[in-house]
Amino acid sequence: MKQENELRAFGKLISSIASGYTMSRQESYDAYRQVILDLQPELQQGAFLAAHLMRKPTTEELSGAWDALDRHDTAKIVVDIPGPVCDIVGTGSDQLKTLNCSSPAALIAAACGLPIAKKGARLVTGVSGASDIFESLGINLDHPLEQAALSLRETGICYLPGEAFLKSGWARLIGSMRFTSAFNILGPLTRPCAQNNCAVIGAYSPEIAVQMIDILSEIGMPAALSPYGMAEGFDPSLGMDEFSLCGPTRVVELRNGVISTYEVTPEDFGLKTAPFEEIASMKSADANAAVVMEVLQAKREGAAADFFSMNAAAALYVAGMAADYRQASDMARDALARGAAWEKFEAMRQYQGINALTEC
């Protein structure tokens, strides 16, 4: 009888949300806890996630959902690293599908001396996610998280697949979901690295950028950027979850509790605006990975290299390693040109690759 009552209560909540009801942070925590821990039938879980996103979750509701994800589903690594530890990630679900950017940007930023705990997952709505790219480049996604901790400690960078650190709930859901949900917002906000204290988190809409920064402020993140990039010749509602090389980027910045919003252009990075077609996604994960590899090996210049560098520059800027975007961009492009980004990947592959070294 208790189980039937819980099922009916959750079903009633779904109907209420679909009709416009707003949950408290505690109510949202409890609802998402039931989804994450698989305490409701899959049909009710899917209906809840769809209804909540369509009704547009509030920041308070998303904070409650983040609480549930962090407490019940996020495994942690702990590495003793002084100073900033950054992450570069995006929500996905953006309309303009680009080459995978956060993965090479993370390697370029790490090559500049910024420790990076990069998280990601397989594709949900695009051609390839970060896990697909790293797997194509020879990273073993099945390694235990201890290998990522070892890589971060020894090389200054690691990759944390959501399939590994999200213990059961989100990993289970994302394996079967092909629609956008609150988890697209929450996934990039997870903190599997306890030392992570700054981040660049791209958003699929300007409104989501604001919400994510509000949540990060709520949970005590010292510094973060959330970009929403646009492209010249396209409707502004069609954007990308990265800094754009094709037009202006709307940025929401968090710095020591203060939130500001502004726009930047490629010229602010010392770069030229390029047509969207020059950074558009290829048709497969392997093709995207091939472009990433060519750029990291300094065999491919032009728009793709500039696109990756400007997003690496954002990480350097938010971490306080550069005074502005232009200085950070110069640092990133220099690291790329001298092959330091590929050297960083080779070092990471020693610990997280197919034939990786393991902790004795």
pLDDT score for 171? 66
pLDDT score for 324? 98
The H or E element spanning position 255 is: strand 249-255
- CB burial of residue 54 (10 Å; 0-12, 13-18, 19+): exposed
Q: Flag whether pLDDT at 1 surpasses 70.
A: no
Phi then psi for residue 263, to 5 deg, are -120, 145
Q: Which two tokens stand for residue 20?
A: 């416009």
- Residue range 111-162, pLDDT digits in tens: 999 999 999 887 655 566 788 888 988 999 999 999 999 999 999 999 999 8
| Three-state secondary structure call for residue 48 | helix
**The domain containing residue 54 runs over which residues?**
2-73
Q: Flag whether pLDDT at 96 surpasses 50.
A: yes
**What's the alpha-carbon Rg for the chain, to the nearest Å?**
20
The rounded distance, in Å, linking the Cα atoms of 94 and 145 is: 29
Mean pLDDT estimate for the chain: 92
The residue among 27, 45, 73 that closes a domain is: 73
| Three-state secondary structure call for residue 214 | helix
**Are 69 and 91 within one domain?**
no
| Three-state secondary structure call for residue 209 | helix
Q: Which two tokens stand for residue 307?
A: 């696109």
Those residues with Cβ within 8 angstroms of residue 266's Cβ, 6 or more apart along the chain or in another chain: 244, 245, 272, 273, 274, 306, 310
**Are 50 and 121 within one domain?**
no
Helix-, strand-, coil-residue percentages of the chain, each rounded to 5: 50, 15, 35
**Are 162 and 28 within one domain?**
no
Does residue 17 belong to any structural domain of this protein?
yes
Q: What is the CATH number of the domain that holds 23?
A: 1.20.970.10
The residue among 50, 73, 96 that closes a domain is: 73
**Are 336 and 266 within one domain?**
yes
Those residues with Cβ within 8 angstroms of residue 291's Cβ, 6 or more apart along the chain or in another chain: 99, 282, 300, 304
pLDDT score for 358? 64
- Residue range 311-338, pLDDT digits in tens: 999 999 999 999 999 999 999 999 999 9
**Are 188 and 298 within one domain?**
yes
The rounded distance, in Å, linking the Cα atoms of 50 and 97 is: 23
Split at pLDDT 50, 70, 90, the class of 360 is very low
- Residue range 162-174, pLDDT digits in tens: 878 887 776 677 6
Whole-prediction pTM: 0.89
Lowest mean pLDDT among 161-175, 176-190, 192-206: 161-175
DSSP state of 353: B
